[in-house]
Amino acid sequence: INYRANIWGMKALGVKRIISPAAAGSLQPAKVKLGEFVFADQLFDITMGVRDDTFFDGRTIAHLPFAEPFCPELRKVAVVTAAEVNYKVHDKGTYVCINGPRFSTRAESMFYHNQGWDVIGMTAYPEAALAREAGICFVNISMPTDYDVHSEETVTHAMVLKTMSENVDRVRKLTFEMITNIPKDASCDCQTAMKNGLF
């Protein structure tokens, strides 16, 4: 996936906010159930630098403020909207991003679980970082489609697609309702994050 081209294209089109639903695995089966949505507030990247994750790879040095990787304002909108449509959600959580395309080994999954991380996926990074560099608010809606390897049943692509298809209408409804709740003017710092970060 050319994440950089995708985000740059959205920037060129004048996009100011991105709502990003994505399939994910639940790393905490006792807490995060299939069919529930997780609005991640933290991100742990273990893609090991193999993805282009900055627009500033020339002479310009860019230090991106990224302590809060997902837009707090959009996440609040997501939480409020989910309550309005009576969805079971988690208003925060840590998303660990792996390279893929393979799924985790049991040892890897147990390590992530023991760290207390909540969901695992393959796309939120570098999307979130690139969006921040581009001055675009970005919110992740993780849709757990499986329990990673914390069940007797091995995760398969077919399993992910089946659960994902069951969530399509629900996430579509949530997304469209969110759009009507987003304030016209942003109160977060996402769109000005790079103002003092270029050297």
Check 146, 169, 185, 189 and give the catalytic one: 146
Q: Please tell me whether the peptide bond between 126 and the residue prior to it is cis, using omega within 30 degrees of 0.
A: yes
Check 41, 118, 148, 185 and give the catalytic one: 148
53 noted as active-site residue = no
Q: For the chain, give the number of residues.
A: 199
Region of 113 (left: φ > 0; alpha: ψ -120 to 50; beta: rest) is alpha
Q: How many CA atoms lie within 13 A of 33 on its CB side?
A: 5
146 noted as active-site residue = yes
* Class of residue 42 by CB neighbours under 10 A (exposed 0-12, middle 13-18, buried 19+): middle
What is d(CA 126, CA 130) in angstroms, rounded to the nearest whole number? 6
Catalytic residues: 146, 148
